[in-house]
Structure 1
Amino acid sequence: MSDQFEQPGLRKLKPSNFHMTLFFVGNVEDHIVVTLLDRAKSIRSFPISLEFNELDYWRKPKVLCLTCQKQPSSLYHLVNALNRMMSGLPITRETRPFRAHITLARKAKYRPDMTFKPVRLSAERFALVESISTTDGVEYRVLESWPLPS
């Protein structure tokens, strides 16, 4: 799909870096990471199935991303549980409503006019992931993951 949206200056993400952020933590001290790892063990949620069927352009962050017309209640259940897990921690919370998305490219200037087959994904786990800046861009490393039991 990404070969269909060429733009000057566009920075496409490597497919190995595609992910869906449920809660952005940001830079935190190691003891906060330890707390998050401990608290995440107690989260009980459900497997999630999503259909990414829209290509969006978000002007402010200048990204092209896949989004869903419909988001299942199981996704909101998990996002709300993660929000509760963060209580009492020095973490800035997002004020905008949660919207499932997968970023495809950064530094976009417009939404390309194109069609594509919906992308269906299922998640049976969630993870705490660290982003690491390298000379080749950002790499993601899973610190730990937990099941979403059915």
Structure 2
Amino acid sequence: MNDETREPFKRLFFALDCAPALRRDIAQWRSALQLRNGRPVPADNFHLTLKFLGAVGVAQIADICTAAASIRTPGERLTVVLDRLDVWRRAGALVLAPQQATPALLRLVYDLEQAMLPFGLEQAPREYRPHLTLARDYRASVPESATPPGFFLRADRFTLFESHKGRYRALAEWSLVDHQ
């Protein structure tokens, strides 16, 4: 197959974005860990993934946005407490995660998964584990922290992002809050 017959695609995922102040606070907290392992994720890329779509044909993006817009949202802002530092050994990732995911977050993820089923984008569904990645290629134990994590990611919208050359760009977003 030559390049002219291949459809252009984008690497896409749905996520809750971080406010600039939260990005700064998490980055400062991470720097206090004095990591000597892994590649730190740029603070501009901090987010909480809801659903990874992978390589999506450009022609499908409008339909994906329509499907995302049809999701019944919680009607209020979501708050995710990032209060656990963990290492995912298989993924080689140092992550911040909630001790307990809220039902509203899990419902949004489930609804997104259901809305994306017709597109056949993911081969093997995985159990959803909410997290914010601090470092990739991390091959050490959980670092000691003088201050335990206790960050509040507050989101009033969810976003479809494109991942391109290590940068994330918002393509579309949908409100989680009811507007009367």
TM-score normalized with structure 2 length = 0.76
Extract unaligned runs of 5+ from structure 1: none
Q: Is the 8 A contact 2:97 2:131 kept in 1?
A: yes
Aligned equivalent of 2:23: none
Matches of 2:126 and 2:69, distance apart in 1 = 26
Structure 1 residues 56 and 117, CA, compared in 2 at 3 Å: closer, same or farther?
A: closer
Aligned equivalent of 2:114: 84
- Cα deviation for residue 86 of structure 1 reads 0.8
Aligned equivalent of 2:152: 120
Matches of 1:124 and 1:11, distance apart in 2 = 30
Q: Is the 8 A contact 1:126 1:146 kept in 2?
A: yes
The equivalent position to 1:35 in structure 2, one of 63, 88, 106, is: 63
**Consecutive aligned runs of 4 or more in structure 1 exceeding 6 Å deviation:** none
Higher helix proportion, which one? 2
- CA offset digits 1:57-104 (Å, max 9, x no partner): 000110000011111111011001101111221201553321110000
Superposition pairs of residues 1-150 of structure 1, within 5 angstroms: 1-3=29-31, 4-8=33-37, 10-46=38-74, 47-92=77-122, 95-110=125-140, 111-114=142-145, 115-133=147-165, 138-150=166-178
Extract unaligned runs of 5+ from structure 2: 1-28
Report how many aligned residue pairs link the two structures: 145
Compare CA radii of gyration and give the structure with the larger one.
Answer: 2
Amino acid at match of 1:16: D
Specify the SS of the correspondent of 1:108.
coil
Q: Is the 8 A contact 2:65 2:172 kept in 1?
A: yes
TM-score normalized with structure 1 length = 0.90
